[in-house]
Copies of this chain bind each other. A is one copy, B any other.
Amino acid sequence: MLIQSRFPLKALQQVSSKRFNSSSLNPTIKNQLSNPPPIGSIIEARGFVKSIRSSKKVGFVDITDGSISNNLNIVLQGPDQPKFKVGQSIVVKGDWTVGKGKQPFELKYNPENPQHAITILGDVTDDYPLQKKATSMSFLRNFPEIKHRTSTLGSFLRLRSHLEFKLMEFFQSRDFIKVTPPLITSSDCEGAGEVFKIEPLNPKEPFFGKNAYLTVSTQLHLECLALALNRAWTLTPCFRAENSNTTRHLSEFWMLEAEISHVDNMDQVTTFTEDMIKFVTRSLVESSHSTELSDLGAGNGNDYLNGTYIEKDVVQSRWSNILSAERWPRMTYTEAIEYLNKTLPQDEQLIWGDSLQLKHERLLAEKSPIFITDYPESQKPFYMLKSANYNAENPTVTCFDLLVPEFGELAGGSMREHDYQVLLANMKQENMNIEDMEWYLNLRKQGTIPHGGFGLGFERLISYLAGYDNVRDISAFPRAPELCNC
Contacts and interface: CB of A to CB of B under 8 A. Distances in A.
A483 interface: yes
Interface stretch (A317-325, A374-382, A385-393, A404-412): A317-325
A298 to B, nearest CB: 14
B175 A157 contact: no
Contacts of A164: 168, 178
B208 A197 contact: no
A183 B184 CA distance: 12
Nearest to A36: B2
Contacts of A7: 285, 290-291, 294, 312, 316
A418 interface: yes
Given A121-B448, A197-B198, A484 B186 contact: yes
A81 interface: no
Contacts of A199: 196-197
A195 interface: yes
Contact of A16 (B28, B124, B237, B323): B323
Contacts of A275: 20-22, 24
Given A2-B33, A9-B319, 15 more contacts: A7-B285, A9-B290, A13-B285, A18-B326, A20-B279, A25-B231, A25-B272, A26-B264, A28-B231, A46-B449, A66-B228, A146-B446, A193-B202, A194-B200, A195-B201
A196 to B, nearest CB: 5
Range, interface on chain A: 35 or more
A302 interface: no
Given A148-B224, A195-B200, A208 B446 contact: no
A477 interface: yes
Nearest to A4: B291
A339 interface: no
5 contacts: A7-B294, A25-B260, A157-B228, A196-B199, A221-B477
A79 interface: no
Contacts of A319: 9, 12
A395 interface: no
Contacts of A40: none
A116 interface: no
